[in-house]
């Protein structure tokens, strides 16, 4: 049996973007909470299945955008509805659709009030997130980008912890501030190019100074999203207060939008400015890696610990991107995927702890592993993955980033390495406390080990930990042509000409 | 050639499948409650030993193929990672070096697994133990057979994690859990030197495959300084794993693991991986005299320092641990002193092989003593008089000690002689240091032997001690035979095919000096301890014994540094995050915005008179400006 090939008229990306909205619309009319959960789970699984053919149909030999859909939207302003993906966005779209069912599963018992609204928020999020990765028109991109904020802020603000309002507002204002600069940059670019088509904006010969301003506007917007040091303080607050599914979405998908923005917009649209600012951004990344790690070491709240480790891991992603070579960017994209898998899993694990103990304090969780051996096993593997243990996914990404960074600057690459040693320290500290504890552990003998639902939630991520860890080549192969093309844009004649102007 | 590759797969698959099968079947699942706990224990041991025996058989087959002159082509199993100009494949390297190491690992592991049946008999988690042990053997064989730097690094870390798991096997003891963590993090410190070294070498040559790097270096001469730096960084990996000064601090603590683990991982195989790795990349090491100098001195210092500390330890396993450190120092020194044109890495590998046998023997004998003392006493001063109560164990311990000290015609004699001869030829200062160390080795080993086995019993547990069962003694006897005969198997001839070189012996002066050191060491130990001493005679030298007992205070210095450094940094980051960025910058921005709003609000009173006043004031100012 051969897999049916892609029919050029089948709008698979639109289907992926809008079917969650349809599912949400239907969910409005469902009364029973149980049925709502099952409905959301079923629809996210179906969407995930529908997204899988993308992997098979995708032609990895070309850097062109594929599955392109184009329709006029607001012709007077030359705004169009254009979708399309390349090797980099393909991986991110797939990760989004695959993470969603897990988000539903991990909220199964956690969310008890306003279940309908919660599920609708999740589905709307999915629409916006897939849309962000598929949009090829800048206004369309911006619409999805902003649309994402509202359900996310609601997830934090309605279903969050004790300081949920503070965290939701902080999250909202931070990202909003970035978005405004992004909008300014988009309009500035439109005035030069006369179109909102992202492809048209790439490769346009902008003046050097103009590029720098646009780059800075992009940079602040995306750096807040990543988040890069020193724009990261919204992240721990948001993570600590968000419900498990919110944390997972935040860590796995939302943070990737910042790095995706660098790859999709900053590098190809403003190549000259990229080269101007690269050294500073690389150093900021190095600081983020070390700083995030050290701060994580000082945390006693499990979610904060994982949140700060995210800052450190995303530092590797930005470090790889601005290394501006094949190893670096492919490594950075792998880091993005790996971070989605591993940190998502760690947040689910913390959620599992919280559901049982109603605390996330490291001291009070000590010694759980003795009574939850299956959980301890999962946690152990995800911790190893998070500290970039060879044989797991993160090692591949961080190794490639280091290799790419080494070509740019030996000094900076060596400066990032302590980050990896610190990662071992904070992850082992957490694992050892939670799994083994110390002498005077609180009594955990009442705890039940993972149930089937929880195992099903964690198991797919475990598969990816080892799949990427042991056979990463398919993932790298699929993005190779796109990365190559991106580098041609970023390091190509335009960048050189602009550099010569300086 | 097809066959050999297939064999290697099977060699590796054996222990891995054992680990998986045990993990899946032999935990406390319903599957085993039907058969009862005894069945569970026997099943786990049986699975682990069975699979490993199969692996060893395939390994021996591959070994035979190497002996018959089969040369392993770099057969690529699959392309692991290829991004840009970085290409990593999964491939094997099988030659005389890895063949020998593979046989040592398989042989010692088999003995120790059989022994573990007896040693771990009463432990409730025995299936977990065998699963982890099998996983360790898998990772160790992976290091041995890896065909490129990255693969070696992957297995290198896997070995690290299995060591972490096994040290912390009795995780209820905080000391065991801490020791595991310490081992992992200290190792990681070295490993990241290793990783940077690999990246640097890749930067220089553009390859990570052993054979291709070697060819590349031979074809295109590169900057010697750069190469030396890369070599020293790669050596950092060995410093961590082989516990060389200054990263040696984790090994003595690792004795918190079960004794078979100490024997297998922390004496015979894993800690020797660093030395093996240096031999594997000898093409790199031998190309850089500066790096060799550094390696030789690191080894020499470790050997002497550890031997000195060992003279004042009282825990039987810790004495052996420091002795392991010291012998590893010897091996590393031997790599650093190698004569590339002559015997090459032979002396180091020779000593590695013989050491694997007699050190495993010593640890297992110590384990047998610990079994007899009901797992509750390891202090040699609380033993005494065990010679009569457990003669076979005592005999085996004596054989191990004699072999370790280089008693003539036992295995250690030949391998130590090779190293001393090398030092004599190349570096007189290191030669002197090595000979002194040899004397100290004899002293502390026989101090331990005399105190533990001679005189009167000094503890309640020692009173009731009796000889262990045959499942424990069997492996001891096998290893004792190997320790005696290890020098006669022709390991030097195996490693150096040139007969003229492999048959060379050290000058007579070296042998006489070594024998003299041995005699003096044993004599001093006999004089001080053999006549039923109940306290350490060295207590009369308070400063010396105080310094030695506290291991030169290296750990204390590290603790202060780590606490101060890491604690301050982590605190500083927390502070900056909380008060500077979140507090001053972000809240400051928020406060400014709010403040501006507050001020502006004052103007929006809704009072028409106020607006009129402001309007009038504004108009006046404008008029004033215009008129002036």
DSSP codes of every residue in B255-284: GGS-HHHHHIIIIISGGGHHHHHHHHTHHH
User: Percentage of chain B surpassing pLDDT 90?
Assistant: 3
B172 to chain A: which residues are within 8 Å by CB? Answer: 436
Q: SS3 letters for A97-115?
A: HHHHHHHHHHCCCCCCCCH
In whole angstroms, give the CA distance from residue B593 to residue B577. Answer: 21
B79 to chain A: which residues are within 8 Å by CB? Answer: 473
Nearest alpha carbon to residue B355 among B296, B400, B300: B400
pLDDT tens-digit profile of B12-69? 888 888 888 887 775 554 444 555 455 556 778 888 888 888 888 888 888 888 877 7
Task: Mutate one of B12, B30, B81, B83 to test the A interface: name it (highest A CB count within 10 A).
Answer: B83
Sorted by sequence, the CB contacts under 8 Å of residue B560 that are 6+ apart come out as: none
* CA of A476 vs chain B CAs: smallest distance (Å): 7
B27 to chain A: which residues are within 8 Å by CB? Answer: 373
Number of other CB atoms surrounding residue A96 within 10 Å: 25
Q: What is the pLDDT of residue B503?
A: 66
Q: What is the pLDDT of residue A501?
A: 42
With CA atoms as reference, the chain B residue closest to A230 would be B581
Sorted by sequence, the CB contacts under 8 Å of residue B391 that are 6+ apart come out as: B467
* CA of A199 vs chain B CAs: smallest distance (Å): 25
With CA atoms as reference, the chain B residue closest to A366 would be B172
Portion 235-264 of A in contact with B at CB < 8 A: none
Nearest alpha carbon to residue A476 among A343, A345, A341, A326: A326
Nearest alpha carbon to residue A104 among A223, A245, A7: A245
**Do A438 and B570 count as a contact with CB atoms less than 8 A apart?**
no
pLDDT higher than 50, residue B187: yes
Across the interface, of A402, A428, A473, the residue whose CB is closest to B80 is: A473
With CA atoms as reference, the chain B residue closest to A390 would be B154
In whole angstroms, give the CA distance from residue B514 to residue A443. Answer: 59
Portion 290-329 of A in contact with B at CB < 8 A: 291, 294-295, 297-298, 325-327
Q: Residue B514: exposed, middle, or buried by beta-carbon count in 10 A (0-12, 13-18, 19+)?
A: buried
Q: SS3 letters for A194-209?
A: CCCEHHHHCCCCCCHH
**Do A326 and B83 count as a contact with CB atoms less than 8 A apart?**
yes
**Do B573 and A391 count as a contact with CB atoms less than 8 A apart?**
no
- Average pLDDT for consecutive 10-residue bins of chain A (502 residues)? 67 91 92 90 93 88 88 88 91 94 90 88 93 93 92 90 87 87 91 88 86 92 88 87 91 92 91 90 92 86 91 93 91 94 93 87 81 86 90 90 89 86 86 76 77 90 92 90 89 58 40
> How many residues are given for chain B?
628
Residue position matching structure tokens 């001093």: B524
Q: Residue A184: exposed, middle, or buried by beta-carbon count in 10 A (0-12, 13-18, 19+)?
A: middle
* CA of B88 vs chain A CAs: smallest distance (Å): 10
To 10 degrees, the CA torsion angle through A175, A178, A184, A186? -80
**Do A417 and B150 count as a contact with CB atoms less than 8 A apart?**
no
Q: SS3 letters for B386-448?
A: HHHHCHHHHHHHHHHHHHHHCCCCCHHHHHHHHHHHHHHHHCHHHHHHHHHHHHHHHHHHHHH
A294 to chain B: which residues are within 8 Å by CB? Answer: 566, 569-570, 572-573
**Do A407 and B154 count as a contact with CB atoms less than 8 A apart?**
no
* CA of A223 vs chain B CAs: smallest distance (Å): 15
Q: What is the pLDDT of residue A1?
A: 46
Q: What is the pLDDT of residue B535?
A: 73
Q: What is the mean pLDDT of chain B?
A: 82
Q: Is it true that the peptide bond before A227 is cis, omega within 30 degrees of 0?
A: yes
Q: CA B545, B547, B550, B551 torsion: positive or negative?
A: negative
Q: Is it true that the peptide bond before A176 is cis, omega within 30 degrees of 0?
A: no
**Do A473 and B82 count as a contact with CB atoms less than 8 A apart?**
yes
In whole angstroms, give the CA distance from residue B231 to residue B213. Answer: 13
Higher-confidence residue of A145 and B147: namely A145
Tell me what the mean pLDDT of segment B576-585 comes to: 69
**Do B570 and A294 count as a contact with CB atoms less than 8 A apart?**
yes
Number of other CB atoms surrounding residue A395 within 10 Å: 26
**Do B84 and A421 count as a contact with CB atoms less than 8 A apart?**
no
C-alpha distances (whole Å) from A494 to each of A185, A205, A276 are 19, 7, 13
Whether the CB-CB separation of A370 and A433 falls below 8 Å is answered with: no
Which helix (H) or strand (E) covers residue B555, if one does?
A: helix B554-562
Number of other CB atoms surrounding residue A414 within 10 Å: 19
In whole angstroms, give the CA distance from residue B518 to residue B512. Answer: 10
Nearest alpha carbon to residue A329 among A211, A499, A485: A485
Across the interface, of B84, B188, B570, the residue whose CB is closest to A421 is: B188
B184 to chain A: which residues are within 8 Å by CB? Answer: 424, 428
**Do A436 and B177 count as a contact with CB atoms less than 8 A apart?**
yes
- The DSSP call for residue A441 is P
Residue B220 φ then ψ, to 5°: -120, 105
C-alpha distances (whole Å) from B549 to each of A455, A467, B310, B326, B546 are 50, 49, 8, 16, 5
Residue position matching structure tokens 């065909």: B147
Collapse the DSSP code of B484 into the 3-class scheme (helix H, G, I; strand E, B; otherwise coil) and give the result: helix
Collapse the DSSP code of A68 into the 3-class scheme (helix H, G, I; strand E, B; otherwise coil) and give the result: strand
pLDDT higher than 90, residue B340: no
Alpha helices in B427-551 (DSSP H): 428-453, 460-463, 470-485, 491-495, 499-502, 508-529, 542-549
User: Contacts by B212-220 with C-beta closer than 8 Å and gap 24+?
Assistant: B213/B149, B213/B283, B213/B284, B214/B283, B217/B283, B217/B284, B217/B287, B218/B283
In whole angstroms, give the CA distance from residue A266 to residue A253. Answer: 19
**Do A373 and B27 count as a contact with CB atoms less than 8 A apart?**
yes
B78 to chain A: which residues are within 8 Å by CB? Answer: 471
Residue position matching structure tokens 């303080």: A233
Chain B within 8 Å of A176 (Cβ-Cβ)? Answer: no
Whether the CB-CB separation of A342 and A305 falls below 8 Å is answered with: no
Rg (Cα) of chain B, in Å, rounded?
31
Strand ranges (E), B97-161? none
Q: Categorize the per-residue pLDDT at B585 as very low, low, confident or very high, splitting at 50, 70 and 90.
A: low
Residue B408 φ then ψ, to 5°: -50, 135
pLDDT tens-digit profile of B318-330? 888 899 999 999 8
Collapse the DSSP code of A7 into the 3-class scheme (helix H, G, I; strand E, B; otherwise coil) and give the result: coil
Give the helix, strand, coil percentages of chain B, each rounded to 5. 80, 5, 20
What residue segments make up the domains of chain A, in order of their start? 12-501
Nearest alpha carbon to residue A44 among A21, A61, A76, A62: A21
Portion 478-497 of A in contact with B at CB < 8 A: 480
Q: What is the pLDDT of residue B1?
A: 47
Residue position matching structure tokens 């029973």: A32
Q: What is the pLDDT of residue A3?
A: 65
Q: Which bin fits B609, alpha (ψ -120 to 50), beta or left (φ > 0)?
A: alpha
Q: Categorize the per-residue pLDDT at B264 as very low, low, confident or very high, splitting at 50, 70 and 90.
A: confident
Residue B169 φ then ψ, to 5°: -60, -45
In whole angstroms, give the CA distance from residue B436 to residue B306. Answer: 12
Per DSSP, what are the bridge partners of residue B209? Answer: B148
In whole angstroms, give the CA distance from residue A94 to residue A90. Answer: 6
B199 to chain A: which residues are within 8 Å by CB? Answer: 402-403, 406, 413
Whether the CB-CB separation of A420 and A296 falls below 8 Å is answered with: no
Collapse the DSSP code of A84 into the 3-class scheme (helix H, G, I; strand E, B; otherwise coil) and give the result: strand
Q: What is the pLDDT of residue A307?
A: 92
Q: What is the pLDDT of residue A358?
A: 85
Task: Mutate one of A237, A407, A432, A449 to test the B interface: name it (highest B CB count within 10 A).
Answer: A432
User: Percentage of chain B surpassing pLDDT 70?
Assistant: 92
* CA of A486 vs chain B CAs: smallest distance (Å): 13
pLDDT higher than 50, residue B204: yes
Collapse the DSSP code of B122 into the 3-class scheme (helix H, G, I; strand E, B; otherwise coil) and give the result: coil
Structure ipTM: 0.83
C-alpha distances (whole Å) from B559 to each of A249, B182, B192, B565 are 40, 11, 21, 10
Chain B within 8 Å of A474 (Cβ-Cβ)? Answer: no
Q: Categorize the per-residue pLDDT at B3 as very low, low, confident or very high, splitting at 50, 70 and 90.
A: low
**Do A325 and B84 count as a contact with CB atoms less than 8 A apart?**
yes
Joined tokens for residue A377? 């096993």
């Amino acid at each position: 049996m051969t897999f049916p090939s892609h029919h050029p008229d089948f709008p698979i990306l639109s289907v992926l973007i809008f079917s969650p909205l349809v599912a949400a619309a239907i969910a409005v009319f469902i009364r029973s909470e149980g049925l709502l959960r099952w409905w959301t789970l079923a629809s996210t699984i179906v969407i995930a299945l529908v997204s899988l053919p993308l992997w098979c149909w995708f032609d990895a030999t070309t850097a062109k955008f594929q599955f392109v859909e184009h329709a006029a939207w607001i012709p007077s302003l030359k705004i169009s509805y254009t979708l399309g993906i390349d090797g980099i966005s393909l991986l991110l779209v797939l990760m989004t659709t695959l993470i969603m069912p897990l988000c539903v599963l991990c909220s199964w018992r956690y969310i008890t009030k306003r279940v309908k609204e919660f599920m609708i928020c999740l589905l709307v999020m999915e629409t916006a997130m897939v849309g962000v990765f598929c949009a090829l028109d800048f206004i369309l991109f911006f619409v999805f980008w902003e649309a994402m904020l509202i359900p996310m802020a609601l997830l934090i603000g309605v279903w969050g912890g004790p300081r949920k309002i503070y965290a939701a507002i902080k999250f909202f204002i931070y990202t909003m501030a970035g978005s405004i600069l992004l909008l300014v940059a988009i309009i500035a670019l439109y005035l030069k190019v006369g179109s909102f088509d992202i492809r048209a904006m790439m490769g346009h010969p902008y003046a050097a100074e103009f590029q720098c301003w646009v780059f800075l506007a992009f940079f602040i917007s995306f750096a807040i999203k990543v988040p890069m040091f020193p724009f990261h303080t919204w992240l721990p607050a948001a993570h600590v207060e968000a419900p498990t599914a919110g944390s997972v979405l935040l860590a796995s998908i939302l943070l990737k939008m910042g790095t995706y923005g660098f790859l999709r917009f900053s590098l190809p649209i403003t190549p000259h400015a990229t080269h101007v600012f690269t050294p500073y951004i690389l150093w900021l990344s190095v600081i983020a890696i070390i700083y995030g790690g050290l701060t994580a070491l000082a945390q006693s709240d499990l979610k904060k610990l994982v949140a700060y480790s995210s800052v450190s891991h995303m530092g590797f992603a930005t470090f790889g991107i601005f290394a501006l070579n094949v190893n670096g960017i492919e490594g950075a994209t792998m880091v993005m995927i790996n971070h989605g898998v591993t940190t998502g899993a760690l947040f689910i694990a913390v959620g599992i702890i919280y559901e049982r103990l109603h605390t996330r304090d490291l001291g009070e969780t000590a010694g759980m592993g003795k009574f939850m051996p299956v959980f301890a096993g999962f946690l152990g593997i995800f911790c190893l993955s998070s500290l970039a243990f060879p044989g797991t996914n993160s090692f591949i990404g961080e190794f490639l980033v280091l290799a790419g960074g080494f070509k740019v600057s030996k000094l900076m690459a060596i400066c990032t390495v302590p980050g990896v040693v610190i990662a071992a320290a904070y992850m082992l500290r957490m694992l050892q406390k939670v799994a083994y504890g110390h002498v005077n552990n609180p009594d955990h003998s009442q705890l039940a080990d993972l149930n089937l639902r929880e195992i099903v939630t964690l198991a797919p991520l475990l598969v990816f930990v080892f799949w990427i860890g042991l056979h990463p080549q398919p993932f790298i192969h699929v993005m190779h042509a796109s990365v190559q093309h991106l580098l041609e844009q970023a390091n190509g004649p335009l960048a050189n000409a602009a550099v010569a102007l300086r | 050639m097809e066959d050999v590759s297939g064999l290697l797969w099977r060699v590796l698959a054996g222990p891995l499948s054992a680990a998986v099968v045990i993990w899946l079947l032999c935990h406390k699942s319903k599957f085993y409650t039907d058969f009862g706990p005894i069945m569970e224990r026997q099943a786990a041991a049986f699975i682990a030993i069975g699979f490993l025996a199969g692996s060893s058989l395939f390994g021996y087959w591959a070994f035979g193929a190497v002996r018959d002159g089969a040369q392993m082509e770099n057969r690529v199993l699959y392309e692991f990672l290829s991004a840009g100009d970085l290409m990593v494949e999964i491939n094997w390297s099988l030659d005389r070096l890895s063949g020998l190491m593979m046989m040592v690992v398989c042989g010692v592991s088999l003995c120790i697994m059989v022994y573990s049946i007896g040693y771990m008999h009463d432990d409730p988690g025995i299936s977990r133990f065998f699963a982890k042990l099998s996983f360790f053997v898998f990772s160790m064989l992976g290091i041995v057979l890896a065909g490129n730097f990255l693969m070696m690094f992957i297995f290198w870390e896997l070995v690290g994690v299995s060591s972490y798991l096994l040290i912390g096997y009795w995780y209820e003891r905080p000391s065991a859990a801490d020791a595991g963590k310490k081992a992992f993090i200290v190792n990681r410190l070295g490993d990241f030197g290793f990783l940077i070294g690999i990246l640097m070498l890749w930067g220089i040559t553009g390859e990570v495959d052993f054979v291709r790097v070697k060819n590349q270096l031979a074809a295109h001469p590169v900057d010697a300084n750069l190469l030396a730096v890369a070599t020293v960084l790669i050596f950092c990996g060995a410093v961590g794993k082989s516990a060389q000064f200054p990263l040696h601090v984790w090994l003595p603590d690792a004795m918190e693991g079960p004794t078979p683990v100490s024997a297998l991982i922390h004496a015979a195989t894993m800690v020797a991986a660093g030395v093996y790795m240096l031999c594997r990349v000898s093409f790199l090491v031998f190309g850089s005299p500066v790096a060799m100098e550094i390696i030789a001195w690191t080894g020499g210092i470790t050997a002497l320092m550890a031997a000195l500390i060992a003279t004042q330890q009282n825990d039987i396993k810790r004495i052996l641990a420091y002795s392991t450190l010291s012998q590893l120092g010897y091996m590393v020194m031997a790599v650093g002193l190698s004569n590339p044109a002559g015997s090459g890495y032979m002396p180091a590998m020779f000593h590695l092989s013989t050491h694997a046998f007699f050190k495993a023997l010593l640890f297992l004998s110590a384990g047998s003593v610990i079994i007899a003392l009901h797992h509750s006493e390891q202090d040699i001063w609380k033993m005494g008089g065990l010679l009569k109560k457990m003669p076979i164990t005592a005999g085996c311990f004596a054989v191990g000690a004699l072999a370790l000290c280089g008693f003539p015609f036992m295995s250690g004699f030949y391998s130590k002689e090779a190293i001393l001869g090398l030092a004599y030829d190349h570096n007189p200062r290191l030669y002197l240091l090595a000979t002194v160390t040899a004397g100290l080795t004899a002293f502390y080993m026989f101090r331990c032997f005399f105190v533990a086995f001679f005189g009167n019993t000094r503890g309640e547990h020692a009173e009731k001690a009796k000889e262990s069962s045959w499942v424990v003694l069997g492996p001891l006897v096998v290893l004792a035979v190997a320790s005696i005969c290890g020098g006669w198997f022709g390991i030097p001839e195996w490693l150096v095919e040139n007969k003229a070189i492999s048959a060379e012996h050290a000058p007579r002066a070296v042998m006489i000096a070594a024998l003299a050191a041995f005699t003096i060491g044993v004599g001093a130990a006999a004089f001080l301890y053999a006549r039923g001493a109940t306290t350490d005679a060295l207590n009369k030298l308070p400063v010396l014994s105080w310094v030695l007992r506290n291991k030169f205070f290296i750990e204390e210095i590290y603790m202060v540094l780590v606490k101060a450094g890491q604690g301050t940094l982590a605190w500083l980051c927390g502070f900056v995050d909380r008060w500077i960025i979140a507090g001053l910058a972000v809240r400051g921005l928020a406060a400014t915005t709010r403040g501006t709003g507050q001020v502006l609000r004052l103007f929006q009173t809704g009072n028409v008179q106020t607006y009129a006043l402001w309007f009038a004031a504004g108009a006046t100012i404008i008029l004033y400006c215009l008129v002036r």
